[in-house]
Structure 1
Amino acid sequence: MLVALSLSLAFLLMAYLLGSIPTGYWAGRWLKGIDIREHGSGSTGATNVLRTLGKPAAVTVLAIDMAKGMLAVALVRAWFTWSGLDWIPLAWQPWLIVGAATGAVLGHSKSILLNFSGGKSVATSLGVLWVMNPWLALGTLGSFLVMLALTRIVSLSSITGAVAVNVLVLLLHQPLPYFLFSLGAGSYVIVRHQSNIQRLRQGTEPKLGQKLPTPAESQ
């Protein structure tokens, strides 16, 4: 039991550290010598990178942020599949997968390398869903893309995806740990978008490719 507990904690720490890799922040430093948290929305995510650094940087950051989440969960699943060892009880395994997914999501938004700041966890959440259940990921991505096509507002599309994943996890009859993850992660993504929700209500939320209005312009 002590070995199982130690391995579980190691997986959770590994997932958090993977999520903490500050891709958007490093892109700002390397490409323009700036702290991206001092520009645009202050997020290190791909949307703010797009506004601040341009499309190539945004696509790269998006891909790496998704990969962080994918790798965090894939490493746990690979251990179960290929280790051939029964050090972690079978009943723990779905919970450990969800724990790794949660660690990666929290790491992205509360990176230990950025004094516990970061992005809004949308891309990393999608990454963990790809490994947990590709149908969940496809459905969530589909709802995001439909809303984006209709409104061209990334934040609204992200919130739509956060709601849709909870519907999908029920329709696909996913296990309880996955349901709890979708509920928690979806709620967390929405909470991380509170400033966007305020701008949506005020009608000042920028569309895809637009910059945030300055304080004077938003009054």
Structure 2
Amino acid sequence: MEKVFLVVLISYFIGNISPSYIFGKVFGKIDIRKHGSGNAGATNTLRVLGAKVAGMTFLVDALKGVLAVAIGRGIYGYYGALIAAVFVIIGHDWPVVLKFKGGKGIATSIGSVMVISPITALICILVGLALVIKTKYVSLGSVTGVGILPFVGLLTMRPFDINFLIFSIIVSVLAIFRHRTNIYRLTHGKESKLGQKAK
């Protein structure tokens, strides 16, 4: 239990590191959460501060997942990696240092899953990117890419791994929950497309 608690604690606080907030202060002298969609993530950073800062934000957010999973695996093996992935995403989404107002966890989810199952992650990324390119809706690509994670995992993880399935369902549910307002806007034709200002 000590190892599990240590993995949870370290991963959660790695997730609390918010590059969008930090870069917003450094490059724009703003609190990114008070601009655009109010989300502390790469997409809102793109809309508010541009592609360069958004790219840096996405990279750091993804690397948070990579780092947490690597540490979790070092402490508690495969189970530590799965636990770390879940809690670094939770830390990103609900960071205590930012009064629980964080991002939506897509880049961190990508980084985490890429370490655990690169093929599964790559398929999900390609599906998500294809949707973004076709529709210009980042949220649609994000929710779909992470939402199909359990199904892709069932196809790619051999032998069948119940632990990965449970993990992937949790990650998908987190992503869908964090995008619930985007899903509402998508179904009502009010979602902002890539290149547009957030509504």
TM-superposed deviation, 1:121: 0.4
Alignment of 1:37-56 (within 5 A): 37-56=33-52
Please say if 1:172 is aligned against 2:156.
Answer: yes
**Aligned partners of 1:137 and 1:178: how far apart in 2?**
12
Deviations 1:24-82 (A, max 9, x none): 111111111111111111111100000011111000000000000011001222x26xx
Residue in structure 2 matched with residue 113 of structure 1 by the alignment? 97
Q: CA deviation at 1:7?
A: 2.5
TM-score (norm 2): 0.94
The match for 1:184 is 170
Question: Match for residue 6 of structure 1?
Answer: 2
Which residue identity does 2:41 align to in structure 1?
G
Distance 1:47 1:184 in 2: 22
- Greater Cα radius of gyration, structure 1 or 2: 1
Pairwise CA RMSD: 1.3
Distance in 2 separating the partners of 1:168 and 1:194: 22
Match of 1:72 in 2: 68
**Contact in 2 for aligned 1:143/1:164 (Cα 8 Å):** no
Whether contact under 8 Å (2:92, 2:104) holds in the other structure is yes
Aligned to 2:113: 129
Structure 1 partner of 2:143: 159
Q: Deviations over 1:92-122 (max 9, x none)?
A: x433221111110000001111011100001
Q: C-alpha distance in 1, partners of 2:117/2:28?
A: 37
1:103 aligns with 2:87: yes
The one-character-per-residue Cα deviations of 1:195-214 (angstroms, maximum 9, x if unpaired) are: 1111112212111121023x
* Partner residue in 2 for 1:146: 130
Work out whether 1:198 is the aligned partner of 2:184: yes
1:32 is matched with 28
In structure 1, the gaps of 5 or more residues are 81-87, 214-219
Percent identity for Structure 1 against Structure 2? 38
Could you list the runs of 4 or more consecutive aligned residues of structure 1 that deviate by over 3 angstroms after TM superposition?
Answer: none
Q: Which amino acid is the alignment partner of residue 120 of structure 1?
A: K
- Structure 2 residue runs of 5 or longer lacking an equivalent are none
CA distance in 2, matches of 1:57, 1:7: 36
> Which residue identity lines up with residue 63 of structure 1 in the other structure?
L
TM (norm. structure 1) is 0.86
Structure 1 residue 190: Cα displacement? 0.7
Q: What SS does structure 2 have at the residue aligned with 1:207?
A: coil
Equivalent position SS for 2:193:
coil
